[in-house]
Each structure stands twice: as structure tokens, then as C-alpha cells.
Amino acid sequence: MYKIYATPGCGFCLQAKRLLESKELPYEYNLVSDLDSQEQAHLQEIAGIPFRTVPQIFQVNEEDQLNYVGGFTELKASFS
């Protein structure tokens, strides 16, 4: 499963949703504005970078751990 962190009206966020839907892969779509500062800090720690753009995409592994994918471009490249 994937977790997409997005903002309303973001074109790349919508493209990420459509890509995962086209691959019939499950995902959660979350708004960055719904995260508190502690949750944002935790996700940035996992990613190893501060978030400056959206979407920010993570893949959930079998142990329910988050693995950082990146943005839409990295998500798309992961299927090539």
C-alpha cells in the first residue's frame, strides 16, 4: 500500500492517485494540512529530507513500516 501526502488542487498529487489506480494498487490520500507538526517531523525523518513540495509518497511494507518513495516523478520511475 502507498500513502500520498498532498495539498488540494495539486496536479502532481492527482497524477500520483491516477497512476496507482491504473496499476490497481491500494493507497491512502492524506492532506498535509491534516498532519500535526510531530507527524510531519516524523515523516521528514523517515524521508531524510525536509518537505518542500507535494506529493510526498511512501510505501508501506509488510511490517507496516514506511519507505520513502519521493514525489510523483520518483513514483512513476519506480514502475519503469
Tens-digit pLDDT string for the chain (80 aa)? 999 999 999 999 999 999 999 999 999 999 999 999 999 999 999 999 999 999 999 999 999 999 999 999 999 999 98
Residue 50 grid coordinates: 525536509
DSSP-based three-state secondary structure for 3: strand
DSSP-based three-state secondary structure for 51: coil
Q: With a threshold of 0.85, does the pTM exceed it?
A: yes
Positive/negative CA dihedral, 18, 23, 28, 30: negative
68 touches 58 (CB < 8 A): yes
Domains and CATH numbers, the chain: 2-78 (3.40.30.10)
Give the pLDDT of residue 80.
87
